[in-house]
Structure 1
């Protein structure tokens, strides 16, 4: 194999694929990136056996071929080369050494055989549809903060994606819905159901896959092609293909967590509320991060106390006409949710101090958040 490629193009593609590669690997080949050259392009692939990213980039191919090279080392070398430089990659002789030349720099990297590199992306996935990049970004951004990091509840370590019916009064609209929960808070976001997605199985997309896709979505063209089966999902856009295994588990019946009897409604300016919570929470202890909301007609008092730091209160004008209520929340969870609200108003639908609260964006009915209270 012998190719010449622009440093910027190689760096961008290496940046995409090498982020999948774990820093510590017991299997040497998983530390490497697969390089294949032919037909005027270079294909790069990396995998951790659960997630695979493949990207193609234009290159001048002098001699087709392939090899695998240490991903992080190759990325660091190319990153440190001068802007605008050309990079030559050459495999000669027995194919065990990759020579990289650029200007007066030359590096020799040990390679492993292409045959040893695992293939994850083979096979057809029978459900295929496309979504706008902005819609996928919205689904991810407004749910991923609620993904559980508790490994024992592995079935919560991702975003649950499925086709559903959304009720608006007496009407039911088909939607593509994303849900995430860690047991303390729940995020449910939906968009109109894309053509071809009506028969998809409910799937749980792992947290690492969500993170990698989110990095790539900003660079994507208008639409992203999705393909999925019962155990794999594939995202394709521009010259990138991401294939991932799905979490093999059953997502809980989240509808049961969403309260239906909450009868007390408070509306507040989302930005002012978030800023006030952030200020008051400065006093709360690092362990509990508790903030108390005291509601009376037309007014909200936020307060926090700590044996070490003292106390803090702040008052806000709100739209509230129900009986007085006091309820406590984890301030971090409260901020995570209010930061997703892009409109001016946040609507809280409450019941009592011990029941979960529903939070919505007044201007956007596609997102719903549930937050469990805490004792304060």
Structure 2
């Protein structure tokens, strides 16, 4: 009984197994393919070649089908005969074995193109060109491998594929970069180093409007392109500002409201020696501002973060309701002036909270350096208000 050779089976862990498919165009071509197969074996490639399987009578169709299926790769040796036979343009009575191999390869490609495109490798041996690759192997759209000589250097591209040793290896993944957002959602702002220029309340009103009690100032600074407000627009806006102040309860219903405009701003103010002052203004450059008095308790005025935040949220709504054209982004700022006898805490605990002497600081100003879209301000106004109240309280502690 004939002993089985290594071309009859392929076990996991062996060297890459390749099946060489070629046509017997001439004796010289057969010898060229044989020398190429010998070279591959010396490179550690387990080659299946018909000339090395003649040790006994075989069913060549079954042998070919089994080895093509089991091999890691099928090397198609391009030649004029293989091209005509593989594409069905040659005489039907020649190269019958090659015709069967090509028919099987076409069928495998049709059944699973992704797997078999990677498994079938067209090879150009010395003296042969790309025009000898059969069309069904896509010579213009897929890779082919030229072997200029039977040396590792001349066959490098093919050997790298067969042994899965790519020439270029991607580097190891580095850490993901941390990139600040260009647009924001919720209450996550975009920060602008250096901040935005704020026109504070004391710079908006004519001289004579000097607050007697601590006022919280809320400002929305344009953080995008905005058309300059014309004088006629500002004059018309003063009536709107007075109406908005009343409907939003910024102004006491029983108090009078004064309103006016200049080339620089329009404003509406309601002031009383006992109840303090409230006001709303819009500037020619697009800034929107309002101010109101802190709650009064025995011994002074109280900055209570939990009480201040919802009022700031309401005032954000007020500023966004102003009907003048505005930018698509604003940067909020907040201030307290004058500080006076302001305490930090809640009204019920005001008596036990250390007061800040009037002469210690005249004002607290938290600059605008974070921008939000108008839609984000509307959607996340409570979060923005809580952050502004917290920053003002922290500044008061210092």
Measured against the shorter chain, the TM-score band is: under 0.3
Bigger share in helix: 2
TM-score normalised by length of structure 2: 0.17
Bigger share in strand: 1
Larger Rg: 2
TM-score normalised by length of structure 1: 0.17
